């Protein structure tokens, strides 16, 4: 059974307001030397299929663990992209100077550090109230990935308020 306010089987609320412009954000992880880039996405079509597949597997592992997501069953691959990327999402990728357009097929289990999405909680007049979902690559934990993603969320989510209000 899906979460009451976040049913992954329903289509996302479509907006006519242009989404604000976001630029890739460079970050340095906890060790002080590892560099990564947080890339913004507004559509599943921007994301390489192998990266969508990798993140879908990461979410399935989180759902199976039963600690962080309310779903009982993992999302099928064809449902994951629209669920995660249809409104606004970000992915942290190992390396500097990266761009959404420059992503190709990679060994994502090594390169993808984590991701988050931002969505309105409700349609209509309360759509400026948002929530986020976070994933950290299970093999890349305790590096400060979640903290860096959280900081980006706190910076970017407020800029989406006018977009969500439509």
Neighbouring CB atoms inside 10 A of 115's CB total 28
Considering the domain boundaries, does residue 154 fall inside one? yes
Question: Is position 129 within any domain?
Answer: yes
Residue 142 Cα distances to 3, 47, 66, 106, angstroms: 28, 26, 20, 23
The more confident residue out of 6 and 78 is 78
Q: Is residue 19 part of a domain?
A: no
Q: How many domains does the chain have?
A: 1
CATH of the domain at 87: 3.40.630.30
Specify if 89 maps to a domain: yes
* DSSP 3-state of 118: strand
State percent of the chain over pLDDT 90: 64
Q: Would residue 20 count as lying in a domain?
A: no
pLDDT value at residue 3: 38
**Residue 6 forms part of a structural domain:** no
Domain assignment of residue 56, given as a range: 25-165
CA–CA distance, 95 with 46 (Å, rounded to integer): 19
Give domain status of residue 7, yes or no: no
User: Is residue 64 situated within a structural domain?
Assistant: yes
Per-residue model confidence (pLDDT) at position 120: 80
Which residue stretches of 72-160 are H helix? 77-85, 108-111, 145-156
Asked whether the predicted pLDDT for residue 2 surpasses 50, the reply is no
Rounded to an integer, the average pLDDT of 103-130 is 85
pTM of the model as a whole:
0.86
Residue with tokens 């249809």: 86
């Amino acid at each position: 059974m899906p979460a009451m306010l976040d049913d992954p089987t329903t289509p996302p609320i479509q907006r006519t307001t242009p989404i604000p412009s976001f630029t890739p954000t460079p970050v340095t992880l906890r060790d002080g030397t590892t560099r990564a880039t947080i890339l913004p996405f507004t559509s599943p079509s921007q994301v390489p299929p192998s990266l969508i597949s990798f993140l879908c597997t990461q979410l399935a592992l989180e759902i199976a663990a039963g600690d962080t997501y309310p779903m009982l069953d993992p999302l099928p691959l064809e449902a994951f992209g629209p669920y995660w990327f249809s409104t606004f999402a970000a992915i942290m990728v190992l390396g500097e100077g990266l761009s959404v357009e420059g992503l190709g097929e990679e060994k994502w289990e090594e390169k993808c550090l984590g991701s988050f999405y931002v969505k309105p909680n409700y349609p209509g007049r309360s759509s400026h109230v948002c929530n986020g979902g976070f994933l950290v690559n299970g093999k890349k934990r305790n590096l400060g990935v979640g903290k860096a993603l959280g900081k980006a969320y706190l910076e970017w989510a407020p800029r989406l308020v006018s977009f969500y209000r439509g």
